[in-house]
Amino acid sequence: MTTDMSLLSLVMGASFPVQLVLLLLLAASFISWSIIFTKRRLIRRTKSASDDFEASFWSGGDLNTLYRSATREPGGSLGMASIFESGFREFNRVSQQGDVKRDKIVDECRRAMRVAQMREVDRLEQSLATLATIGSTSPYVGLFGTVWGIMNSFRALGNVQSATLAMVAPGIAEALVATAMGLFAAIPAVIAYNSYADKVARLEIRYDGFMEEFSSILQRHSHSQKGA
């Protein structure tokens, strides 16, 4: 007698708990890949927008012109442009209040930029925790399915007088499919999480540097306005 050991046959012949584990891991893998592709496009688009804005900012153009360009972006400004827009809008608002100390103007602008930065970073980090959860828990969920399948195989052996490898192999094979599925769901999620977390951290460092440099520019700008 020969036993069909194909992957589909092993899955279809598995016990209900093992099939449920495989279904959960398949759903986790689908969610993981959906997040991976979506987050990849978002981070790439944010980095490209920040590169373009930074090139325009340091080209020596007029800040008011740059601000109007940022506000006209379809869908709103993105990345570094959003931080600049918030800071310069606050600068114009506070400067029009009349007799305001220069330090207060810069502090208010820095606070507005910090809020915009937190909003941008939060948007980039959204769903990364889900990737981390899938990456850390999927192997254990797969291991649960493996343990359950092997346990059922050994329980079935208790009803026979002589056990052979041919009797044990199908049950163990279907159990190990759960471990493989757990790794299939976990490995891409872990790799993507580490990669995206590093890219978000690098963008956050760039945002911090830009905020400090722009704050210095606004401080000099406020000095020239007061002097005038």
Q: What is the 3-state secondary structure (H, E, C) of 127-168?
A: CHHHHHHHHHHHHHHHHHHHHHHHHHHHHHHCCCCCCCHHHH
CB 113 within 8 A of CB 214: yes
Structure tokens at 33: 């890949």
**How many domains are contained in the chain?**
1
Structure tokens at 193: 């999480």
Tens digits of residue pLDDT in 116-146: 999 999 999 999 999 999 999 999 999 988 8
- The band of 228, judged by pLDDT with boundaries at 50, 70 and 90, is very low
Tell me what percent of the residues of the chain surpass a pLDDT of 90: 46
Residue 202 within a domain: yes
Instruction: Please give the residue that has the higher pLDDT: either 56 or 175.
Output: 56
Residue 94 vs residues 12, 99, 106, 109: alpha-carbon distances, Å: 68, 10, 9, 9
Please give the angle made by the CA atoms of 47, 50 and 56, to the nearest 5 degrees: 145
Q: What is the residue type of 50? A: S
Residue 1 within a domain: no
Residue 56 within a domain: yes
Burial class (CB in 10 A: 0-12, 13-18, 19+), 209: exposed
Instruction: Decide: helix, strand or coil at residue 217.
Output: helix
CB 85 within 8 A of CB 112: no
Instruction: Decide: helix, strand or coil at residue 92.
Output: helix
Tens digits of residue pLDDT in 76-118: 788 899 999 999 999 888 877 766 677 788 888 999 999 999 9
Structure tokens at 67: 């601000």
The range of the structural domain enclosing residue 74 comes to 7-227
Instruction: Decide: helix, strand or coil at residue 96.
Output: coil
CB 117 within 8 A of CB 209: no
Residue 2 within a domain: no
Residue 47 within a domain: yes
Residue 43 within a domain: yes
Contacts of 213 (CB under 8 A, 6+ apart): none
Instruction: Say whether pLDDT at 21 is over 80.
Output: yes
